[in-house]
Structure 1
Amino acid sequence: MLTNVAVLAFDEIAPFELGVLVEAFGYDRSDEGLPLIDFAVCAPEPGTYRTQGGFGITVEHGLDRIVEADLVGVPAFADGTVPPPAALEALRAAHDRGARLMSVCSGAFVLGEAGLLDGHECTTHWRYTDELARRYPEATVIPEVLYVDDGQIITSAGTAAGIDASLHVWRQEFGAAAASKIARRMVVPPQREGGQAQFIRTPVPECDCDELRPVLTYVSENLAEPHSVEALARRAAMSPRTFARKFRAEIGTTPHAWMTSQRVLRAEELLETTDRSVDWIASAVGFGNAATLRHHFTRARSVSPQRYRRIFSEAG
């Protein structure tokens, strides 16, 4: 049972993301029948720490406070902020004793620096997912979700997705009614459908490799056709093994995963802007049939194609 939450702070902390964790776990709401959680913000040393908002916060607790916590929250920090070694060691120790760790937005990079994302699925703000995957190749970065619960490690996407992850923890620990009470106090939906990818266009990635750039363009313009790695490798004048290795190095994922994401993106556009059937769209984007489209689309966007169309359709 969750009874104790500690949030890590150091210089250049993002105040909004810190506030999300305070709002979700730091207030006494026992008057509404909710459990009281022992909550504290802690830092490598008690004292005043700079925020990205241009003001300071005073932290009373040191890292020993993490030793007691059931859940350790890691807010976002400024780009390029290097976590103090003592903070990373405290996070590793918390993980080793079985505590859960939850990051908000770019706080995922702090978990990555501690080596805690290796072997885990995770996410962060859509602007930083490629960089997260590049820096921590042993992690599996899922860019299109609001949050990822991978057991001990929970990571959330940009800013308000930290609220979604926090409500998820409330639901797990105390049930849907408790999570709904917290959501009502925060004036947010108890559970949002879908993920950040519904609201973000992912263009063809920039590529400095002369051999790959024409292949990316060709596939994007001919999604309805089947494209094997062997055929694409021939188009790039490479062996399949070299092509696959270079593709991952340049694009950050496999050819198959990239093609799937492009097909989902095109299906998304067609669902929004046309009244074509799901079967027709599946064929047009290269998935072949509606069942395959539904499988990949729901996995990528966390809603079915039909549900997506009802939410975002321009065609009626």
Structure 2
Amino acid sequence: MQQPRRKPLLIGFILANRFTMSAFASFADVVRLASDEDDKSRRILCDWDVLSHDMDMIRSSGGFKIQPDTRLRNARAYDYIVVVGGLIGDGSNLAPEMLRYLHEQAAGGVPIVGLCTGVFILQEAGLLKGYRCCVNWFHHQEFVDRFENERPVSDQIFVVDRDRLTCSGGHGSAHMAAYIIARHIGDAAAAKSLNIMTIDRALSADRPQPAGVPERSAQDPLVKRCMHLMNQNLEVPKSIEALADTLKVGRRTLERRFRIDTGDTPSEFYRDLRLNRAIDQLRRTGRSVADVAVANGFCDASHLTRSLRDHKGVTAGQIRETALRSHK
């Protein structure tokens, strides 16, 4: 007896103007590769549409254009709606018709996915109220500044909270797509997709984002998460006890693993992180020393000046002079 054909996993994509191509392509390729055997791209186990209210070409942040293939009025009953965000502050919001459609789908119980800065669109639309959400560490402060009462997760690659799924973008999009594929089709299909894309294995949601500290690296996931928390709390630094509590470990455990991984204590690393950011701002901006001090968790200009002299061997004036000479 012939087995009935399995219903494909249906995904609808909504792309913001100037959408981030890497987030879209990473997610879409995992789905494409899981849909068929090898790399044949037949839409057997999965199917997808790029949705539009007007069918105009949609430009990515890099200038590449995508032609939508389905009008909203012809949209199917999707298992997921995936919103891909665009450049922040660059007119990347969705048209009112698209937002109405999102609200209708959410009200009907369809899971909504936000890739990269798509989380800004969903939050602005009120679709993340009461949900945990994931934001790329690079955009954490912008998110908090825009949505004052929200505290996003910026130390994980993606977050699943009931029928809302959000991710940090980049390779996080691929891993969240693999999570969805594993849930609906199976682990083997998810692993195959990632392997063809030369990604070793699927990462769980709580895997830390790559630390936003280019000059320093960490291997221990706990230390990486701690670095993210430090990055997100530069203006009003947290105590080491508070960091440990947030990470659900004891202070001694955090200090021991931090020293093993980096050679520094958390306090030393946190101080240098704030000092390095202050030095960068003194070099690149015309902000007063007092403003730079407060923005980086120092009491006042004198406190910053003493810390620079004691730990970096320079003064704010010397930093400014060197920067001016280099621009002449």
Distance 1:181 1:121, change over 3 A: same
Q: Structure 1, residues 149-179: CA drift from partner, whole Å, max 9, x if none?
A: 1111000113110011111111111221121
* 1:15 aligned partner: 21
What TM-score results when the alignment is normalised by the length of structure 1? Answer: 0.64
1:164 has 2:175 as partner: yes
Following TM superposition, by how much is the alpha carbon of 1:258 offset from its aligned partner in structure 2, in angstroms? Answer: 9.2
* 1:49 aligned partner: 58
C-alpha separation between the residues in 2 aligned to 1:13 and 1:204?
25
Following TM superposition, by how much is the alpha carbon of 1:268 offset from its aligned partner in structure 2, in angstroms? Answer: 5.3
Amino acid at match of 1:92: H
Following TM superposition, by how much is the alpha carbon of 1:93 offset from its aligned partner in structure 2, in angstroms? Answer: 1.0
Distance 1:66 1:125, change over 3 A: farther
Following TM superposition, by how much is the alpha carbon of 1:272 offset from its aligned partner in structure 2, in angstroms? Answer: 0.6
* 2:106 aligned partner: 95
Distance 1:266 1:137, change over 3 A: farther
* 2:208 aligned partner: 195
C-alpha separation between the residues in 2 aligned to 1:139 and 1:38?
34
Following TM superposition, by how much is the alpha carbon of 1:90 offset from its aligned partner in structure 2, in angstroms? Answer: 1.1
Instruction: Tell me the matched-pair count.
Output: 237
* 2:326 aligned partner: none
RMSD of aligned residue pairs (Cα, Å)? 3.4
Distance 1:111 1:182, change over 3 A: same
Identity of matched residues, %: 20
Distance 1:14 1:65, change over 3 A: farther
Amino acid at match of 2:261: E
Contact 2:34/2:189 (<8 A) preserved = no
C-alpha separation between the residues in 2 aligned to 1:191 and 1:17?
16
Distance 1:266 1:45, change over 3 A: farther
* 2:80 aligned partner: 71
Stretch moving more, 169-178 or 146-155? 169-178
Following TM superposition, by how much is the alpha carbon of 1:66 offset from its aligned partner in structure 2, in angstroms? Answer: 4.7
Contact 1:118/1:136 (<8 A) preserved = no
Amino acid at match of 2:190: A
1:273 has 2:262 as partner: yes
Distance 1:185 1:124, change over 3 A: same
Stretch moving more, 162-171 or 73-82? 73-82
Contact 2:16/2:93 (<8 A) preserved = no
Distance 1:189 1:92, change over 3 A: farther
C-alpha separation between the residues in 2 aligned to 1:35 and 1:190?
23
Report the structure number with the largest CA radius of gyration: 2
What TM-score results when the alignment is normalised by the length of structure 2? Answer: 0.62
What secondary structure does 2:175 align onto? helix
What secondary structure does 2:130 align onto? coil
What secondary structure does 2:160 align onto? strand
Contact 2:133/2:153 (<8 A) preserved = yes
Q: Which runs of 5+ in 1 are unaligned?
A: 208-212, 225-255, 276-280, 286-316
* 1:307 aligned partner: none
Q: Structure 1, residues 113-149: CA drift from partner, whole Å, max 9, x if none?
A: 2211110011121111233234345654111001001
Contact 1:12/1:77 (<8 A) preserved = yes
Distance 1:89 1:39, change over 3 A: same
C-alpha separation between the residues in 2 aligned to 1:190 and 1:64?
38
Contact 1:13/1:52 (<8 A) preserved = yes
C-alpha separation between the residues in 2 aligned to 1:73 and 1:147?
14
C-alpha separation between the residues in 2 aligned to 1:66 and 1:182?
26
What secondary structure does 1:128 align onto? helix
Distance 1:137 1:44, change over 3 A: farther
1:110 has 2:121 as partner: yes
Amino acid at match of 2:195: R
Amino acid at match of 2:109: G
